């Protein structure tokens, strides 16, 4: 009888822990969405297959609420590379995942998904014209209220190994403030970009 009770306790405790973890993970995902909302100046460094820097450009990212605390719509623009993309950044509460969908000029839908409460999202395997399959992994780190970094890595072996693809530095744009002399709105001068090494 004691053995059965002990076994039952082992079965019940993980279920209780999982129930406690779910609200914390969802709350963390909501905080990620709130932190991402707004306008950002972004410095993007692109890497070649051999790991060398292939290019550096500046652009802007913006995220606005569609459904408060659940869905953000976004737009990314890199004028130097003639690139732009539309995005959705959203919480899938039923699956306990935080997901990002992106479509660029090529019309290809790219969806990255990660567990709620984490800062990493990964695509499924994507077939390429040359017969290979590619996965991409996006991770945010060094996160503060007005600044964070992100890296995009690529795998061609099902996620066993990853190569650097892109590094990004996000710096929040200064908020508009009223002009005390004229009463009109104006934007403060953007803060300088931090050079990447």
What would the mean pLDDT of 182-192 be, rounded to a whole number?
Answer: 39
CA distance 42 to 194: 10
What would the mean pLDDT of 192-197 be, rounded to a whole number?
Answer: 35
Which band of pLDDT confidence, cut at 50, 70 and 90, is reported for residue 178? Answer: low
Which pLDDT value is given to residue 6? Answer: 43
- pLDDT, tens digit, 9 for 90 and up, residues 25-82: 999 999 999 999 999 999 999 999 888 999 999 999 999 999 999 999 999 999 999 9
What are the two backbone dihedrals, phi and then psi, of residue 175, each rounded to the nearest 5 degrees?
Answer: -70, 155
Evaluate if residue 179 carries a pLDDT over 90: no
2-174, what's its fold? Lipocalin (2.40.128)
Which pLDDT value is given to residue 193? Answer: 33
Burial (CB count <10 Å: 0-12, 13-18, 19+), residue 169:
buried
Of 44-48, 68-72, 109-113, 193-197, where does mean pLDDT reach its minimum? Answer: 193-197
Evaluate if residue 153 carries a pLDDT over 80: yes
What's the whole-number average pLDDT of the chain? 84
Q: How far is CA 120 from the centre of its chain?
A: 7
Full-model pTM: 0.77
CA distance 8 to 98: 33
């Amino acid at each position: 009888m004691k053995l059965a009770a002990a076994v039952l306790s082992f079965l019940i405790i993980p279920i209780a822990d999982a129930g406690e973890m779910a609200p914390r993970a969802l709350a963390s995902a909501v905080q990620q969405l709130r932190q991402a909302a707004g306008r950002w100046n972004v410095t993007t460094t692109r890497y070649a297959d051999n790991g060398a820097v292939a290019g550096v450009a500046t652009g802007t990212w913006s995220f606005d609420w569609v459904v408060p605390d659940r869905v953000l719509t976004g737009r990314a623009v890199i004028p130097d590379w003639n690139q732009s993309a539309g995005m959705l950044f959203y919480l899938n509460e039923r699956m306990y995942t935080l997901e990002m969908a992106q479509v660029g000029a090529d019309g290809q839908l790219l969806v990255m998904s990660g567990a709620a409460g984490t800062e990493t999202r990964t695509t499924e395997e994507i077939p390429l014209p040359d017969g290979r399959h590619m996965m991409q992994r996006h991770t945010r780190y060094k996160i503060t209220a007005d600044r964070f970094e992100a890296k995009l890595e690529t795998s061609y072996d099902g996620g066993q190994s990853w190569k650097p693809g892109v590094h990004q530095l996000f710096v929040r744009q200064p908020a508009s403030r009223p002009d005390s002399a004229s009463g009109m709105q104006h934007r403060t001068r953007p803060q300088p970009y931090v050079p990447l090494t």
